[in-house]
Amino acid sequence: MDLNIKVNEKNHLDIGGADAIDIAEEFGTPTFVIDENRIRDNYNRFYSAFSKHYPDFKVFYACKANTNLAVMKILESEGCCIDAVSPGEVHISKMLGFSGDRILFTGNNITDDELKYVHEEGVVLNIDSISALNRLAKMIDPEGVKLSFRVNPMVGAGHHDHCITGGVMSKFGIMDKEAPEVYQMAKDLGFNPIGMHSHIGSGILDPEPFKLAVESTMDIAGKVHEEAGVDFEFVDFGGGIGVPYTPEEKVVDLDKFAQVNIGLFKEKLEQYDMGSPTMFLEPGRFIVADACALLVTVNSVKQSFRKFIGVDAGFNTLQRPAMYDSYHHIVDASKMDAPNTQEVDIAGNVCESGDLFARDRPMPDVEEGDVLAILNSGAYGFTMSSNYNSRPLTSEILVTDGKCNVVRERQTFEDLYAKQRIPPHLK
């Protein structure tokens, strides 16, 4: 088991050198607590694992996983690039100092205004459809404009059906068989297509499906190179490399993962005489998931037909268990060495029957007032939060070598209606 669990001398959960109980007392709960050093370590381990096998390699952080400004600024300082999927993510990235050439925009079902905005920001566009290509050509002078295409490699994998992004059921990308024609179409319009992108899914722990995607994408790129005469500056294999959420899951062997897939990448480059394009990968979850825990306080221990441990957060705060039936390991941060004595349901405070963080979860003798930590909450945690049930969004705390900084203030009730207006006839 490697869930980044550390315990201090008080037998409390340690997050980045800070005591989780002290954090909860000072800043309140619920709150997301982020370990800066763990983010840096995850990024550097990932980059080193691949770059040592293929030096012309770049990491594009899939920032939809966590767009907290401090998190993104940490990665900017490490030299990371950004995979953006919305104009808002482009805007945030530019504001934080990422130059246009360090941002790849991969949108889908994008509007004309969004296409134009992203182009004017100097970001490389990763086009998802023929429609977007034709609409962009009508809005701008396409002569010499660099772009890329997302292709569907017909391989899908992931921890949930909603996270599989390749194959016949996927809404993403152009079809593999039409790729040479689409790249030629882009050239005929005056564009300069220089990249290819694919993505098969999220939460992948097995290197085998990723290997299939690399093989499929490179075969598509090879055909485009041969039939449309495209010399690729980069090939982007997306993200999706997972992290262990359960105690039974094993950590991905990054070196093996890199060695196998880069070896295949090089073979295909030689097979199709494609030169040495840069290899892109887009980790999101891998970099930030285990760098963050959601701290919640137990406010109710209820014996009904089942035993419920009620906490002060719900799926409005952490949506993954309700949306994907995802497992998040949960510990009693107040007494880390306490043995499990019971199986309980850990329930949130949202008025929905599906608002559960865990069913039949082995736990120690949890008491009201205990602080629980819901681990691996850094990816798709706060970024998927909502104000459902008119609950203010929670705070985020960054821990750096034991020092805590508020990097997102907790919302107030007034924030819930700050942008709303009552028309005059109702006043």
> What confidence tens digit (pLDDT) does each residue in 409-423 have?
999 999 999 999 999
Q: How many structural domains comprise the chain?
A: 2
pLDDT band at 3 (very low <50, low <70, confident <90, very high): confident
Q: Are residues 336 and 239 in the same domain?
A: no
The least confident of 141-145, 150-154, 232-236, 312-316 is: 150-154
Mean pLDDT in residue range 212-240: 93
Mean pLDDT (the chain, rounded): 93
pLDDT digits (tens, 9 = 90+) for 151-169: 988 654 444 343 344 445 5
Q: Where is the domain boundary, 268, 285, 302?
A: 285
Please give the pLDDT value at position 18.
98
Single out the residue of 156, 233, 230, 161 nearest to residue 198, CA to CA.
Answer: 156
pLDDT digits (tens, 9 = 90+) for 60-110: 999 999 999 999 999 999 999 999 999 999 999 999 999 999 999 998 889
**Axis crossing angle, helix 207-228 with helix 179-189, rounded to the nearest 10:** 50
- Residue 258: how many other CB atoms lie within 10 Å: 22
Query: Which residue has 């991905």 as its token pair?
Result: 252
Q: Where is the domain boundary, 285, 314, 329?
A: 285
pLDDT digits (tens, 9 = 90+) for 175-219: 888 999 999 999 999 999 999 999 876 677 777 778 888 988 999
Please give the pLDDT value at position 211.
85
pLDDT band at 113 (very low <50, low <70, confident <90, very high): very high
Q: Where is the domain boundary, 263, 285, 307?
A: 285
Is residue 292 part of the annotated active site? The answer reads: no
pLDDT band at 388 (very low <50, low <70, confident <90, very high): very high
Q: Residue 198 belongs to what domain range?
A: 36-285
Q: Are residues 54 and 177 in the same domain?
A: yes
Is 422 inside any structural domain? no
pLDDT reading at 56 higher than 60 = yes
Rounded to whole angstroms, the Cα distance separating 160 from 124 reads 30
The catalytically annotated residue of 63, 81, 163, 351 is 351
- Residue 132: how many other CB atoms lie within 10 Å: 23
- Predicted TM-score of the model (pTM): 0.93
pLDDT reading at 4 higher than 90 = no
Q: How far apart are the first and last CA of the chain?
A: 59
Q: Are residues 165 and 45 in the same domain?
A: yes
- What tokens appear for 58 in the block? 């770049």
Cβ–Cβ < 8 Å for 36, 29: no
